[in-house]
A and B are shown apart, each in its own frame.
Chain A
Amino acid sequence: MTAVKWGRRARSASSADPDTDGLVDPDALPGHLGQTHAPVGLQRSLRNLLDQYQLHVHPRPPGSIAVASALSGEGTTPVSQALARLLAAEFGASVCWIDGGWLDPVRQRTWDPSMVDLARMLRDQSALESAFRQAPDLPHLTSLRPGPVARANRHALAESDEFGQLLTILADEFDHVVLDIPPLLGNAEGLPLLRRSDAFLLVVRFRTASEGQIGRALDLARPVENLGVLLTDYRPAAPTSVTRWIRS
């Protein structure tokens, strides 16, 4: 793949009117960052997580962060989008959010087939540049959503050197890269993306995954540093005073 200059050039290209380049209106795409309004609680939790990381590990958040879960339906997409938004808005960093849905067979059934697939992006720089979308309210925030890939090619594409170079370039061009990767259990295609990241954030939904499943997911991600675990949909039934007393 030809080395190209990304970053500002890519962002400036994506700020053009998306209707003129023949692609589907990105506002109509589900999960577009411009349409995502992260709940205040989610922002607060992610901020708390990053604060703890900065306090105890490193003053700067990791360059590339993979947001993963053990099972599907845990809410990795809104969490990864909120994380990207948080890094862009509050840390003032340039962030690229990459959707790993092209590795997820479930999401691929709901996608528009006119979207540019990753293989084409890796071959054609103009196609790659057109795939970037900038958040209208945050100029530092950019999203990249590759289109569907044939099942037989997914793993090879994820393991390919070209894709690795793309991630490297993105990591150089952006302060942070946030990857939304498919569930770790039952889908091995997400592991190459996870292992190319500097750290990963595990999303666990309350009362969904079992302890064994979480353990296996953590074992699969073991070489990669754990940024933290986000427990979502947390709705304990026990009175807070009782649990607080037990914890004390």
Chain B
Amino acid sequence: MAAVGADLDSMVAAPSRGRVFWIRFVDNVARRKWWFVLPVLMVGGLGARQIQQSTPVYESTAVLSAAWNPLVTAPDIRGVTTEYEDVAADTAGRALYERVLTDRFMRDVAERAGFGDAGGDTFLLQLIRGSLYIRSDGDRLVTVSAAWNDPVVAQAITDATVSEFGEYLAETVANDNLQAAEFHRLVAEDARAAVDAAQAEYDAYRATLPDLILDDVSSTAERAQLRRLADELERAANELAEAQASVDASVIAARQAQVQATRAIQVIDEPTLPTQPLGGLRSDVVVLIGFVVLGILIAIGAALVTTLLGKSIVCPEQLLAYEGVSRVTVVGDVGGTSAGAGSGGDHGHPSTPPRPAADPDREGVPA
């Protein structure tokens, strides 16, 4: 093996430690290249196995249109700019998201989606909640997506979420009017009772009088009493009519609010049954590349650590770093050990020297 002194002639004295490190690093990687390729192959194999074993996930998406948020009364803004006002899609999406956070809403969704009674299964509710994804697109569109390893279930969850939200909106916006209707119904019942009482009193007094024509009643007091009871009856009847009218008005208002709510947030795209799982080849390639990169990072880390821990002489520059050493030359196999014969030929074929015999005097030589 020819000497490589020519390279050393161009070396400068006191080489930098960084340069020496990178020479050692490159030598370490080249010498143990298969050991460093191994983690890349292993981690890449893990990635491929992960891809192979991963369950395909299907996503079903519904798109809603939010004209305004029926839950929020439109502010009366006059004479000022409305730069910071939330758009309808944001408020509607936020309202839906807040509902999804409640277990009551998720129980209804789970029941409607076909999971049965999931009231006590908080883990299932959490799974379903985690499968939902809500986002607003622009000013008016709200996208609701559900991902599941079964396409039918994914569609059912999306559909159940949208439906339950619609019912929630309808109930919420009509709640005040429904409560008002209930109130007026109670008032109407009281008024009916008052009418019945007045009627009964009138009939009772009328029954005490002889069978006379009213104009022939001899006593003015009796005539006044009869008129007073009639007025009472009429007044009670009027109150009853008013209460009835209020009930009707409240019910109409509730229905009107519900209709407006359905118009405020409408389903544009019904949740469809997904036919293709998420990801695909591109996603698999990205995952595989990610694993391979991880393996490369592990290999680089291992190479750096082994280089840092290695203290043997692997390049002439390491010897030049010692004080008093200004000339270093290299040669291949010189043949033999200090205990044996030189075996190198003139043609310079390197021969592997025999391993030195165990030297008890060497024991205890610090490394």
Residue ranges of A at the interface with B (Cβ–Cβ < 8 Å): 30-31, 35-42, 44-46, 48-49, 52-53, 56, 69, 71-79, 81-82, 101, 104-107, 109-110, 180, 182-183, 185-187, 202, 204, 206-216, 218, 222, 226-239, 242-244, 246-247
Residue ranges of B at the interface with A (Cβ–Cβ < 8 Å): 1-5, 7, 10-11, 15, 19, 22-23, 26-27, 29-31, 311-319, 322-342, 344-350, 353, 355-357, 359-367
The number of inter-chain residue pairs (CB within 8 angstroms) is: 245
Q: Which residues of A contact B364 (CB under 8 A)?
A: 186
In the bound complex, do residue B340 and residue A31 qualify as a contact, i.e. CB atoms below 8 Å apart? yes
Q: Which residues of B contact A36 (CB under 8 A)?
A: 341-342
In the bound complex, do residue A73 and residue B355 qualify as a contact, i.e. CB atoms below 8 Å apart? yes
Q: How far is the CA of A237 from the CA of B331 in the complex (A)?
A: 14
Nearest CB in chain A: distance from B31 CB, A: 4
Nearest CB in chain B: distance from A162 CB, A: 25
Q: How far is the CA of A20 from the CA of B342 in the complex (A)?
A: 27
In the bound complex, do residue A41 and residue B319 qualify as a contact, i.e. CB atoms below 8 Å apart? no
Q: Is the interface of A mostly helix, strand, loop or mixed?
A: mixed
Q: Is the interface of B mostly helix, strand, loop or mixed?
A: loop
Q: Which residues of B contact A52 (CB under 8 A)?
A: 327
In the bound complex, do residue A186 and residue B359 qualify as a contact, i.e. CB atoms below 8 Å apart? yes
In the bound complex, do residue A53 and residue B327 qualify as a contact, i.e. CB atoms below 8 Å apart? yes
In the bound complex, do residue B336 and residue A78 qualify as a contact, i.e. CB atoms below 8 Å apart? yes
Besides A45-B330, A214-B319, A232-B332, 9 new A-B residue pairs in contact (Cβ under 8 A), listed by A number: A30-B340, A39-B1, A72-B338, A78-B335, A207-B312, A208-B313, A212-B367, A228-B327, A231-B319
Who on chain B is nearest to A80 by CB? B338
Nearest CB in chain B: distance from A57 CB, A: 9
In the bound complex, do residue A237 and residue B30 qualify as a contact, i.e. CB atoms below 8 Å apart? yes
Who on chain A is nearest to B322 by CB? A218
Q: Which residues of B contact A77 (CB under 8 A)?
A: 336-340, 342
Q: How far is the CA of A232 from the CA of B350 in the complex (A)?
A: 11
Query: Known interface pairs A106-B356, A207-B313, A237-B30. Does A39 touch B333 (Cβ–Cβ under 8 Å)?
Result: yes
Query: Known interface pairs A234-B330, A243-B26. Does A215 touch B335 (Cβ–Cβ under 8 Å)?
Result: no
Q: How far is the CA of A237 from the CA of B10 in the complex (A)?
A: 20
Query: Known interface pairs A37-B346, A40-B346. Does A247 touch B341 (Cβ–Cβ under 8 Å)?
Result: no
Which 6 pairs between the two chains have the least Cβ-Cβ distance? A73-B356, A39-B344, A228-B327, A78-B342, A237-B30, A237-B31
Q: Which residues of A contact B360 (CB under 8 A)?
A: 105
Q: Which residues of A contact B10 (CB under 8 A)?
A: 247
In the bound complex, do residue B338 and residue A215 qualify as a contact, i.e. CB atoms below 8 Å apart? no
In the bound complex, do residue A228 and residue B335 qualify as a contact, i.e. CB atoms below 8 Å apart? no
Query: Known interface pairs A186-B365, A246-B22. Does A74 touch B3 (Cβ–Cβ under 8 Å)?
Result: no
In the bound complex, do residue A44 and residue B313 qualify as a contact, i.e. CB atoms below 8 Å apart? no
Query: Known interface pairs A207-B314, A214-B313. Does A229 touch B337 (Cβ–Cβ under 8 Å)?
Result: no
- Of the candidates A45, A69, A182, which one forms a contact with B5 in the assembled complex, judged by CB atoms under 8 Å apart? A45
Could you write out 8 A-B pairs with CB less than 8 Å apart?
A30-B339, A44-B3, A44-B5, A77-B342, A106-B357, A212-B367, A232-B333, A236-B315
Q: Which of A69, A110, A180, A231 has the most CB of B within 10 A?
A: A231
Q: How far is the CA of A169 from the CA of B326 in the complex (A)?
A: 30
Who on chain A is nearest to B342 by CB? A78
Query: Known interface pairs A72-B356, A228-B327. Does A39 touch B335 (Cβ–Cβ under 8 Å)?
Result: yes
Q: How far is the CA of A105 from the CA of B339 in the complex (A)?
A: 10
Q: How far is the CA of A31 from the CA of B336 in the complex (A)?
A: 10
In the bound complex, do residue B331 and residue A39 qualify as a contact, i.e. CB atoms below 8 Å apart? yes
Q: How far is the CA of A56 from the CA of B345 in the complex (A)?
A: 31
